[in-house]
Amino acid sequence: MRTLSHFFYRQRTLTLLLMLTPPLLWFGVVYLGSLFNLLIQSVWVFDDMSMSVITEFTNTNFANLLTPANLDILTRTLAMACAVTLGCVLLGFPMAYYMAHFAGPAEKGFFYVAVMLPMWASFIVKAYAWTVLLAQGGVIYWLLNAMGLQFALQAVLALPVVGGDTLATSNLGRFVVFTYIWLPFMVLPIQAAIERVPVTLLLASGDLGARPFQTFRRVLWPLAFPGVVAGSIFTFSLTLGDYIIAQLVGPPGLYIGNMVYTLQGTIGNIPMAAAFTCVPIVLITLYLSLARRLGAFHAY
Amino acid sequence: MSVAIEFKAVSQTFGHVKALDRVSFSVYEGEFFSMLGPSGSGKTTCLRLMAGFEQPSSGSLRLLGRDALGAAPYERDVNTVFQDYALFPHMNVLDNVSYGLLVRKVNKAERHARAHEALAMVALHDHALRTPAQLSGGQRQRVALARALVNRPRILLLDEPLGALDMKLREQMQVELKQLHKKLGITFVYVTHDQGEALSMSDRIAVFNQGRIEQIANPRTLYHQPRTPFVADFVGSANVIDASFAKTLTGAAQAFAVRQENIQIHMSQASVAAGDWKLEGEVMAIQFLGANQRLDVKANGQIISALQSEGEIASRLAADAVHGQRITLSWSPKHMVMLDA
């Protein structure tokens, strides 16, 4: 054993190589390889007659993305991803701030568990549970009725885009479920970022004459921003890629994920599915470069 | 002289801990006032009450003639230099210094002019575009000072601002702070646990211990006439002889203090001058300090320290002395400072 330890201690490069090869193989071959394999198919031809893929170059798949029906799917998914991200920031930031700067050790433990607990249950179970909660005759309807607020609910559901026949079939209901399910991914990075902001910086800001909102805008927000971006990468990309919640809750109309699922599963149109898959990749690349320009990856 | 800060019976409790226990004192306008004490003595709590970061549990607090209870930090004509500097890491030096003017909606031209002026005051005008991370500890300290002064406060609070600097820089900053205080003529309130720092800069010093003020006096009075055993020990590390020990020595049950440098060392009792008090003990340790050496002598179960200036006698003693060697200490009655308790 000792000689083995000595051997690895002296052969630093070899040790490093041994440790890094499995993850690099996994990442490089299995992950990037299959992704590349998928993407290359987006420029191949799908023959409708024979229902088979012909390995010839074409750009029709990408052109097809811009047909009104497909564009509808893209904007629907993108709009929800943006709304969910915004909702998670608005809900998550105050909670993360409280956890980082005010909660005592026991309270912090409680918050950690409370934030993480929903992640212990299966994703599909949670989504189904929400369909029950949001359904007519469900808990939320009952509660609003009991408080005499059904007129408010009807007014909200009557709104275009946001509303629908019932909560369970409205975009609002879908937004609520998405926000609930992705919220932990937003709270934890923001909390970690705020934890690194010394309290004296906030005191110094007030001491220099800044009102609480000015302190938030000029000191806390810029310093917590990298955490917000980290969280939003999760909420944004997870919403863009989801096909389960979009199916279970909310109005009819496909999301990118459903479309990819349908195209490659039922129809076998892998090239078109690959073209759809490119959209989130491009959107997230654009999003990351924007975040980078806003200084989100700058460490202080 | 008008009063800048007035504490009246101020108490502050955190849970079961009494950080401040009915503290009353006044700081006069234009004064360099230091709050000196060990950590946990209440001095920093006092500073935080002045800045408005905390509200007292009871008592009254007036700043510049106005009741300050309930006033938020941004409503007070007071600025703070923090122990860890608390510079904003995402802003450069210029933006850090002009922050106080920015949030008070001063226009950009004036903001920058005044920030440059403040930076010139601390000799950092050519570092305006650097970030705090690119500065040394001493430079960060100066930026923090400029940032607090740019608002032209009438009271400047300094919370152990030199604690993180090395000794040479600390001494240089002490001189500069004193000059700055003279030039600006505003009230400085300085928190420190370093008695040397307090003695060298202050007009008056309040010595804190366990949430109370032991004594407020000017540096020389505090050094030569400490009123309590704590002040005698903390401010000049004087030897404190408690009442019962004093009774066996002098016959009177009155505690007193003798400074280390006022104690003579004798190899035998014969050389003690007539009229001086003497005490025999055992040498426990000899510590060479450069210009002098310190002897720790155990007598009557207590360690008495004596400073001996460096020279032939001192070096011979250090070379020859063995642990537990008997030795005689003496001091003149005029060097005894009578204490309250």
* CATH number of the domain bearing residue B147: 3.40.50.300
pLDDT value of residue B244: 85
Q: How much of chain B, in percent, has pLDDT values that exceed 90? A: 66
pLDDT in tens, A51-72: 888 888 888 899 999 999 999 9
Whether residues A203 and B147 touch (CB distance < 8 A) is answered with no
B163 with B259, same domain: the answer is: no
Placement of tokens 């990118």 in the chain: A256
Residues B161 and B241 in one domain: no
A300 lies within 8 A of chain B by CB: yes
Contact check, Cβ <8 Å, B53/A201: no
For residue A228, list chain B residues with Cβ-Cβ distance below 8 A: none
Residue where a domain terminates, one of B228, B256, B278: B228
Q: Which of B51, B84, B102 sits opposite A207 (nearest CB)?
A: B51
Percent of chain A whose predicted confidence (pLDDT) is above 70:
99
> Is residue B98 a contact partner of residue A226, using CB atoms and an 8 Å limit?
no
Q: Are residues B25 and B133 in the same domain?
A: yes
Per the model's pLDDT, the better-predicted residue between A6 and B22 turns out to be B22
pLDDT of residue A6: 85
Statement to judge: residues B253 and B285 lie in one domain: yes
- For residue A161, the model assigns a pLDDT of 87
**Strand order in B155-159's β-sheet?**
B78-81, B155-159, B187-192, B32-36, B204-209, B212-217
ipTM: 0.85
The rounded distance, in Å, linking the Cα atoms of B29 and A185 is: 53
- Spell out the residues 6+ positions from residue A47 whose beta carbon is closer than 8 angstroms to its own: A53, A54
Domain endpoint, select from B192, B208, B228: B228
Same domain, B124 and B66: yes
This prediction has a pTM of 0.85
Pick from B176, B209, B228: which residue ends a domain? B228
CB pair distance less than 8 Å for A214 and B86: no
Using alpha carbons, select from B51, B52, B54 the residue that is nearest to residue B20: B54
Rounded CA separation B142/B217 (Å): 29
Q: Same domain for B221 and B303?
A: no
Considering the domain architecture, whether residues B10 and B157 belong to the same structural domain is answered as: yes
Which residue type does A26 have? W
Cross-chain Cβ contact A209/B100 below 8 Å: yes
Strands B302-309 and B292-299 turn out to be antiparallel
List of chain A residues whose C-beta atoms are within 8 Å of the C-beta of residue B80: 203-204, 207
User: A120-132: per-residue pLDDT in tens?
Assistant: 888 889 989 999 9
For residues B247 and A275, which has the higher predicted lDDT (pLDDT)? A275
Range(s) of the domain holding residue B156 = 3-228
Query: Per-residue pLDDT for A190 more than 80?
Result: yes
Q: Based on the domain organization, do B250 and B270 belong to the same domain?
A: yes
**Low-confidence residues of chain B, pLDDT below 70?**
341
Measured between CB atoms, does B71 come within 8 Å of chain A? Answer: no
Query: Are B100 and A198 an interchain contact pair (Cβ–Cβ within 8 Å)?
Result: no
- Please tell me the distance from the alpha carbon of residue A27 to that of residue A20, in angstroms, as a whole number: 11
Above pLDDT 70, what percent of chain B? 100
Nearest to A208 among B90, B99, B133 (CB): B99
Question: Stretch A163-174: mean pLDDT, rounded?
Answer: 90
Give B100's contacts in chain A (Cβ within 8 Å). Answer: 208-209
pLDDT of residue B341: 61
Do B250 and B175 belong to one domain? no
> Is residue A209 scored above 70 in pLDDT?
yes
Contact A198 B133 (CB under 8 A): no
Amino acid at the residue B202:
S
Alpha-carbon span A216 to A206, nearest angstrom: 10
Q: A39 falls in which pLDDT band (50, 70, 90)?
A: confident
- Does B260 lie in the same domain as B123? no
Q: Look at the alpha carbons of B104, B110, B112, B114 in this order and tell me if their dihedral is positive or negative.
A: negative
**Mean pLDDT value of segment A22-49:** 86
- Nearest CA-CA distance, residue A138 and chain B, Å: 46
Domains of chain A: 2-58 (no CATH), 62-293 (1.10.3720.10)
In this predicted structure, which of A35-39, A130-134, A226-230 has the lowest mean pLDDT?
A: A35-39
CATH of the domain at B263: 2.40.50.100
Give the gap in angstroms from C-alpha A100 to the nearest C-alpha of chain B.
18
Confidence of residue A170 (pLDDT cuts 50, 70, 90): very high
pLDDT of residue A279: 92
- Examine the domain organization and report whether B208 and B252 are in the same domain: no
**What pLDDT score does B44 carry?**
94
Checking if the pLDDT of A187 tops 70, the result is: yes
Cα gap B83→B148, rounded to integer Å:
13
Nearest chain B residue to A217 by CA distance is B103
pLDDT tens, A241-264? 999 999 999 898 899 999 999 888
Same domain, B151 and B256: no
Query: Given a cut of 80, is residue A299 above it in pLDDT?
Result: no
| Domains held by chain B: number | 2
Mean pLDDT, rounded, for A12-24: 88
Say yes or no for a CB contact (<8 Å) between A300 and B73.
no
Tally of CB atoms within 10 A around B237: 14
Instruction: Determine the 3-state secondary structure of B319 from DSSP.
Output: helix
Residues of A in contact with B133 (CB under 8 A): 300
Q: What integer pLDDT is reported at residue A186 of this predicted model?
A: 96
